[in-house]
Chains A and B, each alone.
Chain A
Amino acid sequence: DTGVSQNPRHKITKRGQNVTFRCDPISEHNRLYWYRQTLGQGPEFLTYFQNEAQLEKSRLLSDRFSAERPKGSFSTLEIQRTEQGDSAMYLCASSQLETGTYEQYFGPGTRLTVT
């Protein structure tokens, strides 16, 4: 257990429905990252926050995806109008810049299946 939690762990939804995932980072960590991983591939970066500011978004993050970190603590990732191609593991990670280490601590992920 890295201290990063994600909920739910599994989500099955029908195509066209909206889904929201939550990530709770390690409490003192100011950076929070979202990645997506499909079967047999390495994780792909989606977006990251420093405190509540979203600093970078990947081109993978289409306009159906939105991420928030309203108070600089937990974050949510929402996918609107889900498509079968959205089926993947969604991973959250956090890090703390000020300690001078840059390792990212990953949560267990949320596995999304779109039917």
Chain B
Amino acid sequence: DAKTTQPPSMDCAEGRAANLPCNHSTISGNEYVYWYRQIHSQGPQYIIHGLKNNETNEMASLIITEDRKSSTLILPHATLRDTAVYYCIVRAFYNQGGKLIFGQGTELSVKP
């Protein structure tokens, strides 16, 4: 699975959009981009995943660049409850049922 790079921390004002970047320049054609988050003292929580098209669900939007070397997770209206560590993970299609390899993630602080 490809390696990912994320900024260690970010701040966002409550009510504003939070845009969390992820670099995955070595991604290959059969690898998906997944996002999980971990609120303090809880287990990680799945947010969204995608291959090459932009994806949206009730939690967030995922924008993947055309060359697929980077992506951005967008929380459209961040709330204090979105304060968490966000992990960007790349997984091969054939490994989608297998392990997750977490990096250090981005610690997002949403401030009032």
Give A residues with C-beta under 8 Å from B.
Answer: 2, 4, 31, 33, 35, 41-45, 48, 50, 55-56, 58, 91, 93, 95, 97, 102-109
Contact = CB atoms under 8 A, between A and B. Distances in A.
A41 B104 CA distance: 6
With a 10 A CB-CB cut-off, give which of B44, B49, B87, B103 has the most chain A CB atoms: B44
Contact of A93 (B43, B85, B96): B43
Interface of B: 41-46, 49, 85, 87, 91, 96-105
A42 B102 contact: yes
B45 A43 contact: no
Given A93-B43, A103-B46, A108-B42, A56 B104 contact: no
Contacts of B100: 33, 35, 43, 45, 104
Contacts, number: 54
A104 B91 CA distance: 13
Nearest to B87: A42
Nearest to B48: A103
Contacts of A43: 44, 100, 102
B43 A56 contact: no
Contacts of A50: 97
